[in-house]
Amino acid sequence: MQPLYEGKAKRLYTTDDPNVLRMEYKDEATAFNAEKKAEFENKGRLNTAITLAMYRMLEAKGVETHLIDQVDDINLLVKNVDILMVEVIVRNIAAGSFCKRVGVEEGVEFNTPIVEFSYKSDELGDPLINDDYAREMGLATPEECAELKQKALVVNEVMIDFFNRCGLKLVDFKIEFGRTKDDEAKIVLADEISPDTCRLWDIETGKKMDKDRFRQDLGDVMGAYEEVLKRVESAI
Ligand code: UDP
């Protein structure tokens, strides 16, 4: 069966129900806008299980997501939403592109989280944008930008607390949102929440437990993902 859409880490398939899609998690990993690529056995399974647990945890805290159900180890059923072409990044501690862009040292803790928008475009390498760009590019209205920011900050608060219970510091993360296709046209959390999309540092040792192990060739990438899943499942 041909996927409806194939991304870097997932494939989306239609189902018998036009309102429902099947999201399959791949073992492929990419970094630096797909310049660096590798395949990790079990990554799809680990990210499926972590996303599922995170979505269920967030739903229980009142955050709506596109999750419907699990199909198997690497497949989730999700609502067929219109994905907003704005990625929302929340940063609690300086890392990654933030450090590169402004010359701040990795590890500096922010007093208040930073929320960033980027334009979801592989071709352009997901460039940083702001509310004015989003408005003029027709990506999101000013009201929608405010809603995305407010929702992302709620997700951040809930996840900081949850990962804390896992012995992990939530450094930063990227989330995406979709609009439901029913009359309500609600904005709900979509895509994934995993060590591919969050930076997580062990509270005790400072060890990086996320995709930076791949980006920076730190080794034992899947060992770290496995450990994240173990801690997430025991904190649920
Ligand atoms: N991120 C992501 N997808 C992207 C860009 C970023 O999931 O296309 C996540 C990344 O894993 C990190 C956070 O968003 O947890 C902030 O990433 P950053 O802007 O520092 O970019 P990077 O260092 O990944 O280039």
3-class state of residue 139 by DSSP: coil
231: in domain? no
Is residue 236 one of the residues assigned to a domain? no
> In the listed set 58, 79, 100, which residue is the last one of a domain according to the structure?
79
Residues 57 and 117 in one domain: no
3 token code pair: 């996927």
Cα 1 to averaged position of ligand 1 atoms, centre (Å):
31
Protein residue closest via CA to atom 5 of ligand 1: 174
Q: Cβ(17)–Cβ(9) under 8 Å?
A: no
**How much is the pLDDT for 1?**
81
Asked whether residue 134 falls in the same domain as residue 201, the answer is yes
Those residues whose C-beta lies under 8 Å from the C-beta of residue 146, and which sit 6 or more positions away, are none
CATH of the domain at 127: 3.30.470.20
List, in order, residues 6 or more apart from 35 with CB less than 8 Å away: none
Each residue's pLDDT expressed in tens, for the chain with a length of 236 residues: 889 999 999 999 999 999 999 999 999 999 998 999 999 999 999 999 999 999 999 999 999 999 999 999 999 999 999 999 999 999 999 999 999 999 999 999 999 999 999 999 999 999 999 999 999 999 999 999 999 999 999 999 999 999 999 999 999 999 999 999 999 999 999 999 999 999 999 999 999 999 999 999 999 999 999 999 999 999 99
Do 94 and 208 lie in a common domain?
A: yes
Which residue has the least CA distance to atom 7 on ligand 1?
A: 197
Mutate which of 119, 172, 189, 215 for ligand 1? The one with the most ligand atoms within 8 Å of its CB, which is 172
Within this chain, do residues 71 and 110 fall inside the same structural domain, yes or no?
A: no
Which protein residue's CA is at the shortest distance from atom 24 of ligand 1? 96
Cβ–Cβ under 8 Å, residues 172 and 89: yes
Q: Which residue has the tokens 């439901």?
A: 180
Mark whether 44 and 124 lie in a shared domain: no
Check: CB of residue 13 under 8 Å from CB of residue 4.
yes
Distance 182 CA to ligand 1 centre (A): 31
Strands 28-31 and 86-93: unpaired
Backbone angles phi, psi at 13, to 5 degrees: -120, 150
Phi, psi of 44 (to 5 degrees): -60, -45
pTM for this prediction: 0.97
Q: Measure 6 CA to ligand 1 centroid, in angstroms.
A: 19
When divided into structural domains, the chain yields a total of 2
Both 105 and 28 in one domain: the answer is: no
Domain match, 54 and 144 both: no
CATH number at residue 55: 3.30.200.20
Residue 203: inside a domain, yes or no? yes
For the stretch 201-212, pLDDT in tens is: 999 999 999 999
In a domain, 186, yes or no: yes
Rounded to the nearest angstrom, the distance between the alpha carbon of 141 and the centre of ligand 1 is 24
pLDDT of residue 2: 86
User: Of all residues in the chain, what percent carry a pLDDT higher than 70?
Assistant: 100
Asked whether residue 44 is domain-assigned, the answer is yes
Name the residue with the closest Cα to ligand 1, atom 8: 126
Strand pairing partners for 75? 24, 72
**Sequence-ordered strand ranges (E) for the chain:** 5-6, 10-14, 20-25, 28-31, 36-39, 67-72, 75-79, 82-83, 86-93, 109-119, 128-129, 168-179, 187-190, 198-202
Claim to verify: residue 96 and residue 37 sit in the same structural domain:
no
Q: Are residues 129 and 27 in the same domain?
A: no
- Domain extent at residue 164: 82-219
Say if residue 115 is in the same domain as residue 215: yes
Is the domain of 135 the same as that of 192? yes
Ligand 1 surroundings by CB, under 6 angstroms: 89, 95-98, 126, 172-174, 197-199, 211
Q: What is the pLDDT of residue 150?
A: 98
